[in-house]
Amino acid sequence: MSYVPRFANELDISEEAERRARELLETAKRRALHSGKNPVGLAAAAVYAAALLTNEQVTQAEVSEVADVSEVTIRNRYQELLEADGAAGATA
């Protein structure tokens, strides 16, 4: 959770997207999706997913660079976050 504001600031995404990223992480925590996962990767994926959900233009490569995690990590985790949140259909 503590990584989200820094990533959001560096990527220049809206407060709405930042709030949505925190909500995705809260849902993941409630569903124990975070267990055994890299917190930086989860935060990066949440920021990416939230940007998609709020129609902001952020690429996996940009998030990967800011968070210093692989694009593959972001790809894998953001799908899990969206599924847990029930928002997977929103990006399809």
Q: Where are the domains of the chain?
A: 4-86
CA atoms within 13 A on the CB side of 64: 11
Residue 17 sits at φ, ψ, to 5 deg, of -65, -40
How confident is the model over 71-87, as pLDDT tens digits?
999 998 988 888 888 86
3-state secondary structure of 1: coil
Alpha-helical runs (H) found in the chain: 4-11, 15-30, 39-53, 60-67, 71-85
Judged against a pLDDT cut of 50, whether residue 91 lies above it is answered with: no
pTM of the model: 0.87
- The percent of residues above 90 in pLDDT, for the chain, comes to 64
What pLDDT is attached to residue 4?
94
Q: Which helix (H) or strand (E) holds 31?
A: none
What CATH number belongs to 4-86?
1.10.472.10
Choose between 39 and 45: higher pLDDT: 45
Structure confidence at residue 59 as a pLDDT band (50, 70, 90): very high
